[in-house]
A and B are shown apart, each in its own frame.
Chain A
């Protein structure tokens, strides 16, 4: 009896040790689904009530991360990358320079920070990764992966929101022999390196798949989807993106796979608009093997994210310039709304779709059917309408370039 009690306590302690409060890119499990209730079922003509405006956060496309008490967001100012911490009312708490930022094509910050308990992890478009103290913004550790891990440069800058699992934080520097790396998240020391295919990074923010026998880190390099053992760095399986033949592969052609992979009930779904487009893969329970179940080559979503509600995925397409629902079982197209390409999240029964035409749309998904309910214009900020919206505690947040706004969407 005593041994059972002790064992039980040990289990609880170890669970607690790895029990983390994580705020990250696209929310829980990176699925773009926000666990909110009692949100507006339609919006007034000019949109919901604006409750926040923060300016001068620098150029960039990275979405904010909202915790229970802060807003964290990255931005580029005069070629410097900054991580800003604001209160929920928009008061600056601190800001910390985190390295040189990407200022070439699509200049500005890309990363959404990941907050785990009292630490924050963030990357720059130059491939730096920094861990900071959440309270003070002080750097805890910092790695310039292009220099120290000879990461390969990308055409549009490194674009990855760090993934945390237990005591590790992962990054894809894309070095020929240091392709995917796990750092000790407390001190920045390397825990493992996976050589992968030695390819450039694929602009992807990885996801973690927890299986009974194995935990897998799933991410893209330029031309391969990779399933990597999250604990050891072993490359377990891969799937080549075959739309561009090897002899024609160049920067910017077939290497941009920004959408985080989705996992549910033994199936991996990926939406690689610059690769094999939309795919469902069956994965064996031991995580060792994958097999393609369906491919939908008309769903070329490059970076808008997807959400799965019930039996359908909701995704944009680039060539169709629409929001589309896709049957998760069969991969067949179901319904479309001609709203242009965009980014998508979901909360309290409704889809929030920020189109590249600069409109925020509220859409009702109903078993694959799409109905536009409300919309309003996004006319603040500068440059492209690329960033992903975020919802936290009944507030809708959106960043466009150097400005972030928020609206009250509670009923």
Chain B
């Protein structure tokens, strides 16, 4: 009998502790429910969030678009500089004038912050699908509150400590990694002012502190399922690369070469396609034409911020060699040459330049010039007239 009673007692005790101890998934489910629940979040394709963002003690408006499928676009200020950043789900990019002169792909630390900003609901929403793992570390006291401590492992070497209010299951505080001028920095996150908007609940006020930095986000408005142009999530072209937009298109190309008698003769009529490479500040062309011999050129146009020059890499398969050219717009024409490009100590006598001129919406002319005296005098040797295909 005694053993029976002890057994019953032990079972009761086990049942009691079993009811009290929640699993990590139970806590997370309640956490998501506290944010409105999976069904409510499932109805949202995107959110547009606007409000005030404080950095370096200056307050500016901010705007973000977060999508359910992991895309993100943001406009805010860091101090007096406007910053844009985003991701199309594949390429994560940033344009921060403190650090670069044009939009560029994000480095790992920057990418990590953008991923955090782009998260739907909280990082615990569908965390398993995202390849994260979470462990429950028990309850703690924090600022007079009781909190659940969850450790989130993002599977990329970064772990975060999250503290959820045991009464509301909403996030109160977290420790993670943020970004300070391009470098990762341990950070603290504080959340408050949870409000219902539509069918979901989000914090309308949160702070991030890292090093001596302090960032405050105050949400003013949330809109759901707004119309968005997909291209905003792509890495924008820098304004210098945008100036080369006249090159982009499908072209008919008439090729002329300087004849021995001094005039120009048409040697070929070919086609070309010049495109922006997605998510890169790069244009490319692959063109084959005849000037006596048949030449295939693969051209790539870029812009070098530091020297403020366009750089063109041109592979000429007739010689099987890559040549570099650089230059800038001179008036309405783009002129790139290899005059100042050295591959050895000696100054080359022969230089080549390409002049892009007569630029209109429907076409442009490229002249190939040669100099045999180090750039003192130039002779036009070939002309390529690009006419836009219908």
Question: Which A residues are within 8 Å of any B CB, using their own CB?
Answer: 104-107, 155-156, 250-253, 256, 273, 302-303, 318-319, 341, 383-384
- Min Cβ gap A97→B in Å is 23
B98 at interface by CB-CB < 8 Å? yes
Give me 14 other A-B pairs in contact (C-beta within 8 A), A250-B98, A250-B182 excluded.
A105-B55, A105-B58, A105-B79, A106-B56, A250-B99, A252-B181, A253-B180, A253-B183, A273-B212, A302-B212, A318-B211, A319-B211, A384-B57, A384-B214
B186 at interface by CB-CB < 8 Å? yes
Taking a contact as CB atoms under 8 Å apart, the answer to whether B98 and A106 are in contact is no
> Which of A107, A250, A303, A318 lies in contact with B58, CB distance below 8 A?
A107
Taking a contact as CB atoms under 8 Å apart, the answer to whether A319 and B98 are in contact is no
Those 8 A-B pairs whose CB atoms lie nearest each other, nearest first: A105-B56, A105-B79, A106-B57, A253-B181, A104-B80, A252-B181, A302-B212, A318-B212
CB contacts (< 8 Å) of A273 on chain B: these are 212
A273 to B186: give the CA distance in the assembly, Å. Answer: 15
CB contacts (< 8 Å) of B56 on chain A: these are 104-106, 156
A250 to B98: give the CA distance in the assembly, Å. Answer: 8
CB contacts (< 8 Å) of A251 on chain B: these are 98
Query: Secondary structure at chain A's binding surface: helix, strand, loop or mixed?
Result: loop
A303 to B212: give the CA distance in the assembly, Å. Answer: 10
Subset of 30 A-B contacts with CB under 8 Å: A104-B58, A104-B79, A104-B80, A105-B55, A105-B56, A105-B57, A105-B58, A105-B79, A105-B80, A106-B56, A107-B57, A155-B79, A156-B56, A250-B98, A250-B181, A250-B182, A251-B98, A252-B98, A252-B181, A253-B181, A253-B182, A253-B183, A256-B212, A273-B212, A303-B212, A318-B211, A319-B186, A341-B212, A384-B57, A384-B214
> Considering only CB atoms, which chain A residue lies closest to B209 in the complex?
A321
CB contacts (< 8 Å) of B180 on chain A: these are 253
Chain B, 54-95, contact with A by CB distance < 8 Å: what is the 0/1 string? 011110000000000000000000011000000000000000
CB contacts (< 8 Å) of B79 on chain A: these are 104-105, 155
- Min Cβ gap B77→A in Å is 10
- Min Cβ gap A344→B in Å is 16
A272 to B183: give the CA distance in the assembly, Å. Answer: 19
CB contacts (< 8 Å) of B99 on chain A: these are 250
A162 to B343: give the CA distance in the assembly, Å. Answer: 53
A273 to B211: give the CA distance in the assembly, Å. Answer: 10
B contact residues, range: 10 to 19
- Min Cβ gap B35→A in Å is 28
A302 to B180: give the CA distance in the assembly, Å. Answer: 15
A319 to B175: give the CA distance in the assembly, Å. Answer: 13
CB contacts (< 8 Å) of A106 on chain B: these are 56-58
> Considering only CB atoms, which chain B residue lies closest to A256 in the complex?
B212
CB contacts (< 8 Å) of B55 on chain A: these are 105
Chain B, 178-215, contact with A by CB distance < 8 Å: what is the 0/1 string? 00111100100000000000000000000000011010
CB contacts (< 8 Å) of A105 on chain B: these are 55-58, 79-80
CB contacts (< 8 Å) of A384 on chain B: these are 57, 214
CB contacts (< 8 Å) of A253 on chain B: these are 180-183
CB contacts (< 8 Å) of A303 on chain B: these are 212
A273 to B79: give the CA distance in the assembly, Å. Answer: 21
CB contacts (< 8 Å) of A155 on chain B: these are 79
CB contacts (< 8 Å) of A302 on chain B: these are 212
A288 to B56: give the CA distance in the assembly, Å. Answer: 39
CB contacts (< 8 Å) of B214 on chain A: these are 384
A302 to B99: give the CA distance in the assembly, Å. Answer: 22
CB contacts (< 8 Å) of A383 on chain B: these are 57
> Considering only CB atoms, which chain A residue lies closest to B78 in the complex?
A105
CB contacts (< 8 Å) of B182 on chain A: these are 250, 253
> Considering only CB atoms, which chain A residue lies closest to B185 in the complex?
A319
CB contacts (< 8 Å) of A256 on chain B: these are 212
A155 to B181: give the CA distance in the assembly, Å. Answer: 12
A384 to B207: give the CA distance in the assembly, Å. Answer: 14
- Min Cβ gap B164→A in Å is 22
A144 to B361: give the CA distance in the assembly, Å. Answer: 50
A156 to B57: give the CA distance in the assembly, Å. Answer: 11
> Considering only CB atoms, which chain B residue lies closest to A401 in the complex?
B57
- Min Cβ gap B277→A in Å is 27
Chain B, 285-306, contact with A by CB distance < 8 Å: what is the 0/1 string? 0000000000000000000000
A253 to B211: give the CA distance in the assembly, Å. Answer: 11
Within 202-239 of B, Cβ neighbours of A (below 8 Å) are at 211-212, 214
- Min Cβ gap A111→B in Å is 17
> Considering only CB atoms, which chain B residue lies closest to A155 in the complex?
B79
- Min Cβ gap A346→B in Å is 23
- Min Cβ gap B28→A in Å is 29
A155 to B211: give the CA distance in the assembly, Å. Answer: 17
- Min Cβ gap B102→A in Å is 16
- Min Cβ gap A278→B in Å is 16
A104 to B58: give the CA distance in the assembly, Å. Answer: 7
- Min Cβ gap A98→B in Å is 21
A155 to B99: give the CA distance in the assembly, Å. Answer: 12
A303 to B98: give the CA distance in the assembly, Å. Answer: 22
- Min Cβ gap B108→A in Å is 15
CB contacts (< 8 Å) of A250 on chain B: these are 98-99, 181-182
Chain B, 312-332, contact with A by CB distance < 8 Å: what is the 0/1 string? 000000000000000000000
> Considering only CB atoms, which chain B residue lies closest to A252 in the complex?
B181
- Min Cβ gap A255→B in Å is 10
CB contacts (< 8 Å) of B186 on chain A: these are 319
A302 to B212: give the CA distance in the assembly, Å. Answer: 8
CB contacts (< 8 Å) of A156 on chain B: these are 56
A27 to B26: give the CA distance in the assembly, Å. Answer: 58
> Considering only CB atoms, which chain B residue lies closest to A384 in the complex?
B57
CB contacts (< 8 Å) of B57 on chain A: these are 105-107, 383-384
